[in-house]
Structure 1
Amino acid sequence: MAKTAKKTPAGKTSNSPELDLVMQMMAIPGVSGQEAAIMEFIRKRLVAAGAKASELVHDNAHTKTPLKGQVGNLIFKLPGNVRGPRRMLSAHVDTVPVCVGSQPVRKGKYIESADPNTGLGADDRSGAAVLLVTAEKLLAGGTPHFPTTFLWTVQEEVGLYGARYVVPSKLGGPKLCFNYDGGCATKLTIGATGGYRMTIDVYGIASHAGAAPEEGVSAIAIASLAIADLVENGWHGLIEKPGGKGTSNVGVIQGGSATNVVTEHVTLRAEARSHNSKFRERIVKEIEKAFTRAAAKVKSSLGKKGRIEFQGHLDYDSFRLPDNDPSIQAAKEAIEAEGGKAELSISNGGLDANWLAANGVPAVTLGCGQKDIHTVNEKLDIEQYELACRQALRLVTAE
């Protein structure tokens, strides 16, 4: 099991090996698509611990993603020395841009970045480290363990692409799956919402805004009417209707070149989310209707109208593990064995687990100590991280 921090003769707290490892990992830059350095670090540690280089397999997920990537997911399948269903531990290795330049330092109960202008990268290097700590302990020998697959994914932060494009047949058929990404180590995320993203192009008719505004059709006016329609009818922001619940947001609007020109074209980017896939589709349709209605309202003096073009794609579908799912039960037992009580949670954001479920390897997501992610105030709760390491080892061992 993981060692807890101990006191040095000088009275200062020394780091556990697990904590030293995650601090090293958080200091390595690796935004989405640029994960080669952190993957090489993981590979070298595994080989040094006794893994064969031929057992460390990268897939080609990065060749299928919109963002050109350096490397695909890393898969390590470790045979068991006791019989039982194969387990899988997963975590993503990419971080958001604010974490580039992270300088992890210990401050009491937390790890923070010494540079106040950067995030820490605990999301999700703490999860990636939980996997690596566990793999190294199993490779050291002497621990009865089940067959275990370790999956380090790429490009989670920009669309869950690593998990989306993983090839399930390469994972060895795991029956119990545990994804590490999040806060409290006793929180089990057993479901998450689904997300759909849209690009909406509004085309109007340009004209001189001073000499002949009536001859134009303002794309900005059309977009404004559409957004107002969505707000007034309860289809923007938090959505609560008799048919379901969800959210939507128009987050980006771009267009226009000068105040003396009736704007001919604007592009908007929007999203819709719901735990109910059918209701999410309803939200998308309502957004399309609002823009279509708005385009019909704005006319030039000659009766001409603008037009709308929609493009959309599913980011990730919603999922919900059944209460009797074996991964949930195993995770609860691991938490209770460490003296804790499991808290079941449903996420309103996307996780690698969304696509793992869609790919036939449903996983429960456990926290690993992250706080204030995606900000310069990000920190890692040391106690929760080390607890996550101990629980992970319990999940794959027969002791």
Structure 2
Amino acid sequence: MSDALQSPNVNLLMTLLKVSGKSGQEQAVMLEIESLIKAAGLPAEQIRYDDAHLRAGFGETGNLIVTLPGTVNAPRRLLMAHVDTVPLCVGAIPEIDGEYIISKLKQTALGGDDRSGAAVVLSTLLRILKEQPVHPPLTFLWTIQEEIGLVGARYVDPEELQSPELCFNFDGGDPKSVIRGATGDTHMDIRVYGIASHAGAHPENGVSAIVIVSRAIFQLQEEGWLGLIGKPHGTGTSNIGFIQGGAATNVVTDFVELRAEARSHDPEFRMEIVNAIQQAFIESANTISNVNNEHGSIEFESRNKYDAFALDKSTPVVQSAMNAVTAEGLEVSTRISNGGLDANWMASHGFPTVTLGCGQEFIHTVNERLHIPSYEHTCNIAWRLATEIDS
């Protein structure tokens, strides 16, 4: 424990973990990061915030961006992480327990997702300012609102980043695993309209929106379009994660609202999932009727949350990340993620981005913990990525 407490990297992480900052309320942690950067001597003109929160229409602050000119002529590199946490982390008190950082309060998660990544990026910048090593041009980016849809990365102004060619996102678990791709996600809003009637006196006059929804969900489950989806021509997942409707047991429910998602690495197959879900609700609404042969109806809207991407192992950014992991003495591997990452939107902006883990475990639960040796490995990997020029 004493060795961990003496580590500047761990002390920095503990500082950031103590600051609450769920999605949309990141200003306090951004100001903490900014104050540490200024205390290290960086001129104020090299620290700026963008207007991502204004473009998104929600939140206290935009993304925090720091740019450094290179001491050598080389492609610009970007190091990034998101600073927001899920609401379960609000009020967490971090404490060290052997090789782990945990939340002292058993009712809260820790917030290592992604304060560990934010600390990795910050520790790299602070060390550069202190030691003044040879390095390429560098951009440091701390994003907002990742947990509610990759908002900061989506609305970042690409010109503010000064055209990085190699981008490294720090978020996740195992530092040995280089994430070189991730799935895409489409969000769906479904509104189901029935016909209200008195459920005791004249239920036959009503069309229950709940029945329409139930029939559609049963059909989707039976036909294999919910949960883990595996068809001869494609794979993916879908989930209906929000259902709300009804007000009284003596009224046939005339409105139910649902929110759902579809994920797949294949954008065409992802839209096929969306279409299957939409069609199931349309068929159900057209099938259920009252004694007057009146039917309900649906309104269906979908929007792309983020696109899938996959980088080849031979691309320079993947090779640089793999080389840095190997140099740290770890057995490197690469993988494609089934979850969304800020890297998805960075790729959409034209910046090839890989993601490396920081030792996070059991995220978004009260059992969350942060593996300190893995976090220290990632700090060393980030240092190499920021300062070592590939030959």
Deviation of the 1:83 alpha carbon: 2.0
Paired letter, 1:28 = V
**Contact 2:21/2:84 (<8 A) preserved:** yes
Aligned equivalents of 1:379 and 1:44: distance in 2? 27
* 2:149 equivalent to 1:162: no
Could you say what secondary structure the match of 2:211 adopts?
Answer: helix
CA positional deviation for 1:14 = 3.8
SS of the aligned residue for 2:56 comes to coil
CA separation in 1, counterparts of 2:132 and 2:231?
57
Residue in structure 2 matched with residue 138 of structure 1 by the alignment: 128
Cα shift at 1:391: 0.6
Q: Which runs of 4+ in 1 moved over 3 A?
A: none
Matches within 5 A, 1:82-121: 82-121=72-111
| Structure 2 counterpart of 1:342, one-letter code | V
Unmatched segments (≥5 aa) in structure 2: none
Q: Partner of 2:131: helix, strand, or coil?
A: coil
What is the letter of the counterpart of residue 51 of structure 1?
A: L
Match of 1:124 in 2: 114
- The Cα offsets for residues 27-69 of structure 1, whole Å up to 9 and x where unpaired, read as 1000111111111111111111121111101000000225x21
Q: Does the alignment pair 1:304 with 2:304?
A: no
Q: State the partner residue of 1:377.
A: 367
Q: Which amino acid aligns with 1:34?
A: Q
CA distance in structure 1 between the partners assigned to 2:282 and 2:7 by the alignment:
60
**CA deviation digits over 1:246-294, x for unaligned, max 9?**
1111111111111221111111111111010000000000001100100
Matches within 5 A, 1:270-349: 270-349=260-339
Give me the whole-angstrom Cα distance separating, in 2, the residues matched to 1:17 and 1:33: 28
The residue that corresponds to 1:10 in the other structure is none
Contact 2:5 2:11 in 1 (8 A): no
1:201-250 CA distance string (max 9 Å, x none) = 11010111121111111111100110011011111111111120011111
2:50 paired residue number: 59
Query: What is the TM-score with the length of structure 2 in the denominator?
Result: 0.97
2:31 is aligned to 40
**Mapped partners of 1:103, 1:251: distance in 2:** 30
- How far the C-alpha of 1:141 sits from its partner, in A, is 3.4
What is the total number of aligned residue pairs between the two structures?
389
Q: 1:388 and 2:381 equivalent?
A: no
Counterpart of 1:57 in structure 2: which amino acid?
R
Q: CA separation in 1, counterparts of 2:56 and 2:269?
A: 27
Query: Structure 1 stretches of 5 or more lacking a match?
Result: 8-12
- After TM superposition, the structure 1 = structure 2 runs for residues 344-355 of structure 1, keeping only pairs within 5 Å, are 344-355=334-345
TM-score by length of 1: 0.96
8 A contact 1:332–1:341 mirrored in 2 = no
**For 1:392 and 1:188, how far apart are their aligned partners in 2?**
13
CA distance in 1, matches of 2:5, 2:206: 70
Match of 2:35, SS state, is: helix
Verify the 8 A CA contact 1:88 1:178 in the aligned structure 2: yes
Paired amino acid for 1:18? N
